[in-house]
Amino acid sequence: MRLRLAHQVFLLIMVVAVGTTTVMALALALNLRQGFQDYLLARDLADLKAYVANLERRLSALPGPVRLADHPDLLRGLPGIDLPIENR
């Protein structure tokens, strides 16, 4: 009878340990994924702000209102705009 009870206690402890480990691993994976997405978003926003500031500086040097469609060369010189996605 004792051996059977010892096996039951061992199995119960194993199930709890495996369950706890699984839940912790899932929580960690979700947290890392969300953190990485937040990092990428912050990086992309910082890049976009730099592009906008650079474009505003270039546009302010031109006289009068300017349409970007009339001056495609303004966007070509901005870093990263004309690069393919795999080279960014």
Question: What is the model's pLDDT at position 77?
Answer: 63
- pLDDT tens for residues 3-15? 798 899 999 999 9
Contact at 8 Å (CB) between 55 and 75? yes
Query: Which pTM value belongs to this model?
Result: 0.52
Domain definitions of the chain by residue range: 2-87
Dist CA 69 CA 64 (whole Å): 15
Dist CA 80 CA 43 (whole Å): 13
Query: Per the structure block, which two tokens stand in for 82?
Result: 């004309």
Residues of the chain with pLDDT under 50: 82-84, 87-88
